[in-house]
Amino acid sequence: MARSDYPTAQPFLPDDKNLDTLATAAEGCQGCPLYQDATQVVFGSGPPDAEIMLVGEQPGAQEDQIGEPFVGPAGRLLDQALKEGGLNRDELYITNAVKHFKFEVSDGRRSGIKPSVGEIKACHPWLESEIEQVQPEIVVAMGAVAARSLTGKPLAIGEVLGSWLQTSEGRSLIVTYHPSAVLRSPAEVDQDRIFEALVRDLDRAREAVLSARGGRRPQA
Ligand code: SF4
């Protein structure tokens, strides 16, 4: 399908926006073809006044079944990294750049496939609306898809890892690994390195919030 065939989620957004109306409206989104094969939409979750918003790529197979973000294997790793980074999951707003599970089936098993740029762009109005509602002090992009959606630009994770950037709406953004990068790494030494970088960047987000409360902005 040509990129021009992807419309956008924009027409499916409610007029009266809050996190509840957005989550309900997203259930009916047909802004790109991904709604067709997924079980359900997986909207963000967390306190409406969270100071930190974590953004992943897309729901995985378990999230698709349960309807909540980061409740599968990557979510369990994220929980471990949050604990080591001194963050409480209950205080964070956690979402994905793309709200429906994109997958392929092999040997009867569904495996996630990276969303296309057209799908990331089509789904961006939901993420933008979540940011508008939550107004987080710090946004954490976990992985290249999240970074692409939040900045509107293609970024090489290796070049921006742990750096302070800005979202396309001008919010403080730090880019780190997606927890599933740990799971995908065959070598234990790489798993440890990626996990440590994730913990370090989550800790930097926590420190930045503390600085912002004191009136100081994150340093690049
Ligand atoms: S992935 Fe996003 S834009 Fe595509 S149908 Fe789902 S909610 Fe809509």
Mean pLDDT, rounded, of the chain? 93
- Across the range 18-22, mean pLDDT stands at 98
Note whether residue 1 is domain-resident: no
Is 33 inside any structural domain? yes
Share of the chain above pLDDT 70, in %: 95
| pLDDT reported for residue 141 | 98
Long-range contacts for 70-76 (Cβ within 8 Å, ≥24 apart)? 70/94, 70/179, 73/180, 73/183, 74/178, 74/179, 74/180, 74/183, 75/179
CATH number reported for the structural domain that contains residue 143 in this entry: 3.40.470.10
Confidence of residue 187 (pLDDT cuts 50, 70, 90): confident
Cβ of 100 closer than 6 Å to ligand 1, yes or no, is: yes
Residue with CA closest to ligand 1 atom 4: 32
Check if the beta carbon of residue 31 is closer than 8 Å to that of residue 122. Answer: yes
Q: Is residue 82, in this structure, part of any structural domain at all?
A: yes
Report the pLDDT value the prediction gives residue 68, as an integer from 0 to 100: 97
CA distance 200 to 58: 23
State the residue range of the domain holding 176. Answer: 6-212
Residue 155 lies in a domain: yes
The token pair at 112 is 């996630």
What's the confidence (pLDDT) of residue 4? 45
CA dist 72 and 74 (Å) reads 6
Residue 144: beta bridge partners? Answer: none
Question: Does residue 219 form part of some domain?
Answer: no
Position 219 scores a pLDDT of: 55
Supply the pLDDT for residue 2.
45
Residue 179, pLDDT > 90, answer: yes
Q: Is residue 161 part of a domain?
A: yes
- Find out whether the beta carbon of 123 lies less than 6 Å from any atom of ligand 1: yes
Chain segment 120-152, per-residue pLDDT in tens: 999 999 999 999 999 999 999 999 999 999 999
Q: Given the CA of residue 102, which atom of ligand 1 is nearest to it? A: 1
Residue given tokens 């939040």 in the structure block: 150
Give the SS3 label for residue 114.
coil
Contact 208, 99 (CB under 8 A): no
Write down the pLDDT at residue 1: 45
Domain total in the chain: 1
Residue 3 reports pLDDT greater than 50: no
Say how many Å lie between the CA of residue 181 and the centre of ligand 1: 23
Nearest CA to ligand 1 atom 2: 123
- Checking if the pLDDT of 212 tops 90, the result is no
- Answer yes or no: is 217 within a domain: no
What pLDDT digit, counting tens, does each position of 45-98 carry? 999 999 999 999 999 999 999 999 999 999 999 999 999 999 999 999 999 999
Give the per-residue pLDDT at 216. 65
Task: Confirm whether 220 is domain-assigned.
Answer: no
